[in-house]
Each structure stands twice: as structure tokens, then as C-alpha cells.
């Protein structure tokens, strides 16, 4: 923020530094309203994303030629926003409200700028919100207040104490894992009470409900096996086993870990569906002589990276030797049971069905776009915006960023 105006700034990818001539780009958003600034920054980011995507595909000789000609004009990719801001200083001094003496004293601790720009509308951290707003406005019974406070303290011990609108899906997941890691829920701790604190806070500060509140629920893994998410240690142990105990089953498991494919999708592959190359390796989920895929969104190409690349190489070589390895239904069931047995050595609650959910969680953690996740795991794309297929290079770039998280 410069003065009382928000600005957008982003770094320029190294590959196009010379072509563009700068290492970062700044654009005035021409507003001092935070909500408007956020919307405009997202629109501007999309324009720059298109520009970087186009420039990064140009070959080096062409880059040098264009650089000499200086044909890249950043203004062509800059959105011309209209002025949209309030003169808050004038509004304050020419309003009928006078500044109370006690507020003037407070400005010794906080800057004049913060006061003029309406600090009371800034978002408080969770503990401050509970103490200064929620506890004063909510009609508690004594026992109820204790339960609210106990629930809040537990939540903060797991997810930290930060502004109420800064919690996200990962915090909800951590809370869920904490509840599942204890044999009995602590007395007096209630997720509904925690949710009530946040819901009232979002309403008070005119905040939009985010994915955190939607995901603020406890899923007991034992009762809902499909919701289980593998921990970091479990994934590392599974990787170590696969590479030490090389077999057809361990290679299938390895492919599933970083692709999010189902067991049936991998067991139905032929050698023609696996492409292994020094620069680009992937599998294609499609109809073949072994199976038919009716849902169009399940037909896709998934890059092989990390452990899944290792498994894909072994699986390809085995299928070349024996194309009919798993045509027998009894063998398929036996293979699935064998893989689940491997998994149970490292995870009491996990099964082969949980790797898709776990991959989605890991991709969300690194802020992978929703449309990319949907394309990788073969989920239905709800919006027309997502109907076009995502390029394999984009999917690979996100999968390669994955760590065991």
C-alpha cells in the first residue's frame, strides 16, 4: 500500500527477466477499499499469468531477437482500473463525529494513520475477538462460558491464535487429525461451539464464509474410511517399502500414491497406456481391450513423478513381458488384498481407497488450482470454466512440487 492506495506487485519468472526487462511488476489498483483491491489484484494476476505462459514457450533464439527489438510492452497487459476510493481523512474531519479524548490518547500507541483508516474495522486475532466481542455480546450461562473457553483454548493450542479470517482448510484438517489422535474427546470441548464463535465473527465483520468454516467438522476415520488422509510419516514409510520390496503389487501401489488413481484404473492399464520417457512420463486412463470408461471426465492423462514414476517404469516393463498379468478376476482381488495388507503395516486406518483423498489434500496444501486438481484425479468439473482439459505440463509442474505433507 502506497499512501492510502493499494498496489498489486508480483515477481517476474527468471526465464523471462531479460525479455521483460524487470524483475517485478507493480500496478496501482486505484482503490483504498480492501475488498475491491483483492478483486482487482486477482484480475491483474490472471493477465500476467497469461503473459508469462505465452513468453515462457518462446525458444531462446526468438527471445534474444525479441529482446533486441524490445517488443514487450507491459502496459499491454496492465488493466486500466478506474479510481474508486474514499477520502477517509476528509470524511472523518468533516463528519459530525468528533474524536473522543480517550481515542486521541490511544493514537500514541497506534499510528494516526491506523486511527484514520478505521482500526475498529480491522480483523482481530481469535483470542481478542472472543474476549472483546463474543464474550460480551453472547448471553452465557456460567457452565456454558467455561465450555466455550475450554473449546477455544483447545482450538488455539492446535491451530494457533491468528486473525479470524486467516484460518483455512489445513487448520480444519489439523483439528480433525488431533481429535482422531486421542482415544476420547476432551470433556467440554465442542466443535459446534468453535464453529459458532467463527460464524458470529464472520457475520460481525462482514466476512464471507471461507473453506475453513465449511470444513470445520470432525470426521471420525474409523467410521468413515473414505475420508482418511495419510500422514507424512505413513507416506514416507510406504515409499521406503515399495522401493525395497519390488513386486508387481508394490509398483501398483507406488503409481497410485502420486497420481490419485483408483486401484481399478491402474490394474486396467496396458503397456500402451504407459509412456516412459526421459523428459515426459505419464499414464493415460482410457478405454482399452481390458475395460470401458463411460464417464468422460475420468478419461485423462496423469504425469508420473517421484515414487509414481519409479512404479510406472517397473509396471511398464512387467506388462511388456506379460500383457495378461491380471486378466483373471481372482488375481485382481488377490492383488488388492495384498496391497491393503502392505498398507496396514504402516497405517492402522488407511486403505488403498484413501490415496485419492490424500493427494487432493496435499495439492490443496500447496495452493494448486481447483481445476488442475479435478483434472488430475478425474473428478467431475462442475463449472463451464473448467471444461477444457489442463495441459500435462501444468499438471506435472504442480505434482513435482509435492512433498510428503
If one compares 29 and 182, the residue with the highest pLDDT of the two is 29
Identify the band that residue 91 occupies on the pLDDT scale cut at 50, 70 and 90. Answer: very low
229-399 has CATH 1.10.3720.10 classification: no
pLDDT at 342: 92
Look at residue 246 and tell me whether its pLDDT is greater than 80. yes
Identify the band that residue 180 occupies on the pLDDT scale cut at 50, 70 and 90. Answer: low
Identify the band that residue 254 occupies on the pLDDT scale cut at 50, 70 and 90. Answer: very high
pLDDT at 256: 95
pLDDT at 293: 84
Could you tell me what percent of the chain has a pLDDT over 90?
A: 18
pLDDT at 67: 52
Look at residue 104 and tell me whether its pLDDT is greater than 50. no
pLDDT at 405: 52
Look at residue 278 and tell me whether its pLDDT is greater than 60. yes
pLDDT at 83: 67
What are the structural domain ranges in the chain? 7-77, 88-120, 126-218, 229-399
Q: pLDDT tens digits for 341-379?
A: 999 999 888 889 899 989 998 888 888 888 889 999 988
Look at residue 98 and tell me whether its pLDDT is greater than 50. no
pLDDT at 23: 82
Distances (CA, A) of 63 to 69, 241, 394: 10, 46, 22
pLDDT at 295: 82
Q: How much is the mean pLDDT over the chain?
A: 77
Look at residue 94 and tell me whether its pLDDT is greater than 60. no
Identify the band that residue 312 occupies on the pLDDT scale cut at 50, 70 and 90. Answer: very high
The answer to whether 366 and 242 have CB atoms below 8 angstroms apart is: no
Mean pLDDT of 136-159: 82
Identify the band that residue 285 occupies on the pLDDT scale cut at 50, 70 and 90. Answer: very high
Of 37-46, 260-269, 370-379, minimum mean pLDDT range? 37-46
pLDDT at 72: 63
The answer to whether 7 and 35 have CB atoms below 8 angstroms apart is: no
Smallest CA-to-CA distance from 1 within 118, 113, 122 is with: 113
Q: pLDDT tens digits for 123-141?
A: 888 988 898 888 888 777 7
pLDDT at 369: 87
If one compares 276 and 84, the residue with the highest pLDDT of the two is 276
Mean pLDDT of 54-75: 58
Look at residue 97 and tell me whether its pLDDT is greater than 90. no
Could you tell me what percent of the chain has a pLDDT over 70?
A: 72
The answer to whether 301 and 284 have CB atoms below 8 angstroms apart is: yes
Amino acid at each position: 500500500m502506497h499512501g492510502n492506495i493499494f498496489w498489486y506487485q508480483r515477481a517476474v519468472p527468471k526465464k523471462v527477466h531479460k525479455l521483460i526487462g524487470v524483475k517485478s511488476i507493480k500496478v496501482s489498483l486505484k482503490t483504498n477499499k480492501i475488498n475491491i483491491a483483492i478483486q482487482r489484484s486477482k484480475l491483474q494476476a490472471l493477465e500476467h499469468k497469461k503473459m508469462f505462459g505465452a513468453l515462457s514457450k518462446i525458444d531462446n533464439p526468438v527471445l534474444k531477437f525479441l529482446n533486441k527489438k524490445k517488443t514487450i510492452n507491459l502496459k499491454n497487459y496492465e488493466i486500466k482500473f478506474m479510481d474508486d476510493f474514499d477520502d477517509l481523512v476528509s470524511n472523518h474531519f468533516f463528519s459530525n463525529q468528533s474524536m473522543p479524548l480517550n481515542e486521541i490518547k490511544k493514537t500514541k500507541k497506534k499510528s494516526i494513520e491506523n486511527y484514520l483508516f478505521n482500526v475498529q474495522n480491522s480483523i482481530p486475532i481469535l483470542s481478542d475477538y472472543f474476549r472483546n466481542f463474543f464474550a460480551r455480546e453472547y448471553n452465557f450461562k456460567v457452565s456454558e462460558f467455561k465450555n466455550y473457553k475450554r473449546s477455544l483454548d483447545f482450538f488455539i493450542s492446535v491451530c494457533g491464535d491468528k486473525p479470524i479470517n486467516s484460518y483455512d482448510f489445513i487448520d480444519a484438517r489439523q483439528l480433525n487429525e488431533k481429535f482422531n489422535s486421542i482415544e476420547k474427546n476432551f470433556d467440554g470441548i465442542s466443535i459446534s461451539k468453535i464453529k459458532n464463535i467463527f460464524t458470529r465473527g464472520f457475520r460481525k465483520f462482514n466476512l464471507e464464509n471461507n473453506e475453513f468454516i465449511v470444513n470445520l467438522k470432525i470426521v471420525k476415520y474409523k467410521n468413515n474410511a473414505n475420508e482418511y488422509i495419510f500422514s507424512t510419516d505413513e507416506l514416507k514409510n510406504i515409499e521406503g517399502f515399495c522401493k525395497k520390496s519390488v513386486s508387481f503389487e508394490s509398483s501398483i501401489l507406488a503409481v497410485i500414491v502420486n497420481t490419485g488413481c483408483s486401484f481399478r484404473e491402474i490394474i486396467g492399464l496396458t503397456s500402451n497406456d504407459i509412456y516412459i520417457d526421459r523428459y515426459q512420463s505419464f499414464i493415460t486412463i482410457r478405454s482399452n481391450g481390458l475395460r470401458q470408461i463411460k464417464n468422460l471426465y475420468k478419461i485423462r492423462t496423469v504425469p508420473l513423478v517421484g515414487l509414481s514414476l519409479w512404479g510406472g517404469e517397473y509396471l511398464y516393463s512387467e506388462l511388456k513381458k506379460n500383457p495378461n498379468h491380471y486378466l483373471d478376476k481372482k488375481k485382481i482381488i488377490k492383488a488388492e488384498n495384498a496391497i491393503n495388507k502392505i498398507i496396514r503395516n504402516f497405517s492402522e486406518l488407511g486403505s488403498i481407497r484413501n490415496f485419492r483423498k490424500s493427494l487432493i489434500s496435499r495439492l490443496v496444501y500447496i495452493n494448486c488450482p481447483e481445476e488442475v486438481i479435478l483434472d488430475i484425479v478425474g473428478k467431475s468439473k462442475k463449472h463451464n470454466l473448467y471444461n477444457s482439459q489442463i495441459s500435462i505440463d501444468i499438471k506435472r509442474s504442480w505434482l513435482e512440487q509435492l512433498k510428503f505433507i
